Amino acid sequence: MELKNFFKRQLRTVIEWKEQDASLLFHRMETTTDEIKNASKLIVAPGQGCLVVYDGKVMATLTEPGIYEMATANHPFITTLLNLAQQMESEHKMRFYFFRTAELVNVLWGTASPVKYIEPDYQLPVALGVCGNFSVRIADAACMFTTLLGTVGDYRVADVQELVSSRIVAPLTAFLASKAYPYREVDRHLMELSADLKEKTGDELLRLGLTLTDFRVDSVTFDEDTMERIGKIADMTAEQRAAAEVDLDYTGVQKLAAMRDAARNEGGLAGAGLQVGAGVQLAKDIFAPQAGGSGAKAAETG
């Protein structure tokens, strides 16, 4: 059996990526041995490319579909027989890294943690998460191999998602800090935000061998803390405006709030009595200036 395997390894081989996984962007083809024999054939299918690494160096980037003849210093049988006699492996190593040439579309992305900035209307720090989708393709396979892969065998869609999401945080934070959109207006500027992030993130990815062909911000979501604080401020603002309509000051607003809380939390006669008492006192506060004014006029008439 060992002898059969020995002779099998000496035959010229055909290298191809038959079962291309949709989740893979880069894939190192595993062969029975890295000592590829001279005149072996490499098949590159449509939608694929292949990076040929020989003796540790990128020798060729193949992007056109076709059948390629491999010319190496390893000849079938002769090389292996010499190696066996010297009890060593051939120093001529060839590896193949297949990659996807087709565009990878509609890949989802999102910020791992909320991004903060100062909201101009309320003058308080707010935090929001941002998500969307992007499309990308390999622009320079050799550059990507050098900067991202190294000894990694496979580079997947999930790796691209993580890469893009991590590169977005800095330009996103800078954009929000410079624009400082009011809380209610952020959704109106998603196109502007998308264009800015595509430009900034695209430059960074291009340096790594990837081209960002499309980038979109689909939605922004403020965190619960932010929503709660803004909700409280909005309620207080609404109460102040309503109070201004009936000429109530801050103290009157607080008394109204106390009456409302009593109605919610107290039951029976005790709650009713508290509300009546607060209502009588509030009426006195409201009409006291008017009563005083009427008395003065009466005195003048008399």
Give pTM, 2 decimals.
0.67
Mean predicted confidence (pLDDT) in 117-145: 91
How sure is the predictor about 277, in pLDDT bands with cuts at 50, 70 and 90?
A: low
The whole-number pLDDT of residue 71 equals 61
Among candidate residues 81, 52, 82, the one with its CA nearest the CA of residue 69: 52
| Class in CATH terms, 104-226 | alpha beta
Q: Is the pLDDT of residue 170 over 80?
A: yes
Helix pair angle (250-265, 268-301), 10° resolution = 150
HSE value, Cβ hemisphere, 13 Å, CA-based, for 206: 8
Average pLDDT over all residues of the chain: 75
Q: Is the pLDDT of residue 97 over 80?
A: yes
List beta partners, residue 119. Answer: 124
Mean predicted confidence (pLDDT) in 170-179: 92
Tens digit of pLDDT for each residue in 235-274?
666 666 665 665 556 566 666 666 666 666 655 444 445 4
Find where tokens 């009426």 sit. 283
Q: How many CB atoms lie within 10 A of CB 131?
A: 15
Tens digit of pLDDT for each residue in 65-78?
998 876 654 444 33
Domains in the chain: boundaries = 2-100, 104-226, 227-289
Tens digit of pLDDT for each residue in 211-236?
999 999 999 998 888 778 777 766 66
How sure is the predictor about 193, in pLDDT bands with cuts at 50, 70 and 90?
A: very high
Tens digit of pLDDT for each residue in 37-94?
556 788 899 999 999 887 778 888 998 999 887 665 444 433 443 343 334 444 556 7
End-to-end CA distance of the chain: 130
Among candidate residues 36, 40, 60, the one with its CA nearest the CA of residue 50: 60
